[in-house]
Amino acid sequence: MARKTKIVGLGDSTTAGTPGFLSPVEAPPEGRGNPESQYSYWMMKAHPEWTVLNRGVNGERSDQIRSRFARDVAAGRPAVVIILAGVNDIYQGRSTEFVKKNLEAMYALAETEGIVPLGATVLPFDTASKEQTESIQQLNRWVEAACKTTGRLFCDTNGAVRDRSNPGLLASSPDGLHPDVAGYKRMGLALSSTLEHAGY
């Protein structure tokens, strides 16, 4: 028997499903747009026994996402929270140290609440400068190391959507900033695989 599991996706536009979908946080109560433009849709297609709640908000930095943790994650008592944040911080010129502090705080908040955190890597965007791309790559190396050294779940969502020949770009995108439906599908399948390997 497949086990029913509640999962929350917490993050910015790449959790919300921008530009094709407005999340239920952005357009209550069900969200609005093409549901296939969100990784949570593809996770539930792969695993109908899972409930994956989309708690993404377009444009938010890691500190803004962190401020929603109690309302959008802890209150719902999920088994797992997928934490994907940091691209807007880098876009706005914040340091990777600023992002790391907020990510680590969210991982710890989850564990304090008895929720398993899954750290995901920040996606590339096509208009990023060389410095922004390097910051994303540096941050993602930290996310991977921070998760693996502590035994936390980790998924390379960046790897699921980037251009194989140019890792600083998205493989396919409607706006140069976000994945298209095919990219969100790859994200969903990568995240599902991580959870499958963890026994969910």
Q: pLDDT per residue over 44-57, tens digit each?
A: 999 999 999 999 99
Read off the pLDDT band of 2 (50, 70, 90): low
CATH of residue 133's domain is 3.40.50.1110
Phi, psi (5° rounding) for residue 48?
A: -60, -20
Tokens (6 digits) for 105: 């705080």
Q: What is the mean pLDDT of residues 71-87?
A: 98
Say how far apart CA 45 and CA 88 lie, in whole Å.
29
State the pLDDT at residue 3: 80
Give, to the nearest 10 degrees, the angle between helix 96-112 and helix 130-150: 30
State the pLDDT at residue 51: 98
CA 94 → CA 61, 99, 105, distances in Å? Answer: 9, 8, 17
Using alpha carbons, select from 102, 7, 121 the residue that is nearest to residue 55: 7
Q: What is the pLDDT of residues 123-140, one digit of tens each?
A: 999 999 999 999 999 999
Tokens 């802890």 found at: 74
State the pLDDT at residue 174: 97
Position 1 pLDDT exceeds 80: no
Instruction: Map residue 53 onto helix, strand or coil.
Output: strand
The beta-strand segments (E) located in the chain are 5-11, 21-22, 32-33, 50-56, 80-84, 116-120, 153-155
For the chain, what is the domain count?
1
Could you tell me the residue range of the domain that residue 113 belongs to? Answer: 5-197
Using alpha carbons, select from 111, 116, 26, 15 the residue that is nearest to residue 62: 15
Q: What is the pLDDT of residues 157-190, one digit of tens each?
A: 999 999 999 999 999 999 999 999 999 999 999 9
State the pLDDT at residue 77: 97
Q: What is the pLDDT of residues 92-117, one digit of tens each?
A: 999 999 999 999 999 999 999 999 99
Say how far apart CA 38 and CA 100 lie, in whole Å.
25
